[in-house]
Amino acid sequence: MSDEKKPEKLVRTDEEWRKLLTPVQYDILRNHGTERAFTGPYVNDHDPGQYLCAACGEALFEADTKYDSGSGWPSFYQPVSSASVDTKGDGTLGMQRIEVRCARCGGHLGHVFNDGPAPTGLRYCINGGALKKVPPK
């Protein structure tokens, strides 16, 4: 994971986001919602490719960093770049977690935990509805 320059911020109005996103995507990305475990896209997907932010197209995760955590959400051990995601403390639902957001558009992606595999020991637990997968180049 490199320490690249953060992407230029993409700012849109709430009305613009509502027009661009499906209701599920809007709920996850703009309202910090979540999909029920094992119901979202990509949970069982193991094909090559890259996962982008469904809102703005920012490259977030490579398929070769995805693993089956058993959590019910797509899990990755690292983003494509330290610049592609932002993290922030999240005390909602009566627990302390670290929220993961798209660095470009600020969309809520999920949370990161310290119980992942080597080499990072991290588990980026990401809502499939916040992602768009594209085939490898």
**Catalytic residue ranges:** 125
Kindly tell me the burial class for residue 121, based on how many C-beta atoms sit within 10 Å of its own C-beta (0-12, 13-18, 19 or more).
exposed
CB 129 within 8 A of CB 137: no
- The DSSP annotation for the chain comes to ---PPPPPP----HHHHHHHS-HHHHHHHHH---PPTTTSTTTT--SS-EEEETTT--EEEEGGGEE--SSSS-EES--S-TTTEEEEEE-GGGS-EEEEEETTT--EEEEEES---TTT--EEEE-GGGEEEE---
